[in-house]
Amino acid sequence: MVLIDTHIAVFLHSRQVRKLSPKVKVMLDNNDIVLPEMARFELQYLNEIGRIAETPANIIQFLYTEIGLTLSKTPMSRLVDEGTLLSWTRDPFDRLICADAQAQNIPLITHDQKILKNLPQACR
């Protein structure tokens, strides 16, 4: 199982797989792909401010159909507990997405340099 961050979901939805490393492509092909609930919330925010045109529901439905994407079921209380330990970021979306990876002890696929530098299970 691997977790994907918000931008990876957008890349996959827009079929921009060239932005993914060969290592990540193999990980995506060989694992169940999970989207954190906080990434779903961030997709909504990005849609509302005009950064992405597609709605979160459409992105998630497309990824469910195409790659079997599921949503994380980590309880919010667990995310907050883990997230309080991640003081290296001020971004609440990143904090809770990373907390989800930590809580489940699974890789997080991301392009975010700060996450890649600070979260041991982050990969690009």
List the CATH number of the domain containing 110: 3.40.50.1010
What is the pLDDT at residue 61? 98
- Counting residues of the chain whose pLDDT is more than 70, the rounded percentage is 100
3-state secondary structure (DSSP) of residue 2: strand
Q: What is the distance between the alpha carbons of residues 31 and 65, in angstroms, rounded to a whole number?
A: 16
Show the tokens assigned to 45. 């925010």
Domain count for the chain, please give it.
1
Q: How far is C-alpha 33 from the geometric centre of its chain's CA atoms?
A: 9
What range does the domain containing 24 cover? Answer: 2-123
What is the pLDDT at residue 18? 85
pLDDT in tens, 77-123: 999 999 999 999 999 999 999 999 999 999 999 999 999 999 999 99
Residue 54 sits at φ, ψ, to 5 deg, of -80, 150
Q: What is the distance between the alpha carbons of residues 76 and 17, in angstroms, rounded to a whole number?
A: 31
What is the pLDDT at residue 38? 96
pLDDT beyond 90 at 2: yes
Q: What is the distance between the alpha carbons of residues 124 and 44, in angstroms, rounded to a whole number?
A: 24
* 3-class SS string, 100-114: HHHHHCCCEECCCHH
pLDDT in tens, 10-69: 999 999 888 899 999 999 999 999 999 999 999 999 999 999 999 999 999 999 999 999
What is the pLDDT at residue 32? 97
What is the pLDDT at residue 19? 82
